[in-house]
Structure 1
Amino acid sequence: MNEQVVSHAACGTAGALYALINAVTGCACIYSCFYRGKMRAQYNIEGSDCGDCLKHFFCELCALTQQYRELKNRGFNMDLGWAGNVQRQQNQGAAMGAPVFQGGMNR
């Protein structure tokens, strides 16, 4: 299967799950703060799970924008999605971590 097709399917699934959680609970931040924690762990960025949830609960758009910028600054191709970028970096023999930016998601 084509790498782009797989990433679009994964993105569509994640979007549908986000919408479903939002429709059922009215609080989709439950799902999105999970990815913030995943990013922090992956790149050794300071923070806490509680802080992640609070950021997403009170300002979801700002938190998602920070995550987008952090990934973009680390060389991610947003068209490939998370799984596509992981696969691309593994094929290139690079570790998942790109150069560490001072301060992380504080901008």
Structure 2
Amino acid sequence: MSIAAFIMEPEELKNNEAMYTPISTEEGFYKAWYPLIQKLELKWLTHMSFGLDVTKSNLQEVLSELHILSAFIEESENPYRIGLLERIANLENMLNKAFENENVVVYIG
């Protein structure tokens, strides 16, 4: 299994461009991501393990938690540092691009 972000109903996109962003394998998530998310007590990102719907109403909170996680990783000696930072940046870019459209729901899980 893997964890990824994707548009729930791609027909909502203005340009009909399918959006899918891989995040991690399930094993990688529990090995590299989840311990940091728990340590930082990030309530939204905790839900990535079993499914999180990102909507306009919680987008800023999710992006804020991604920023907190990224800043923590940048200052750490985490052996997965480069890969994690790259995946976080890809996810942030995908979310920002997806929400240029109205009525979009991005599922992460």
The TM-score, its normalising length taken from structure 2, stands at 0.29
Structure with greater helix share of residues? 1
The structure with the largest alpha-carbon Rg is: 1
More strand by share: 2
Choose between structure 1 and 2 for higher RCO, CA contacts under 8 A separated by at least 6 residues: 2
Give the TM-score taking structure 1 as reference length.
0.30
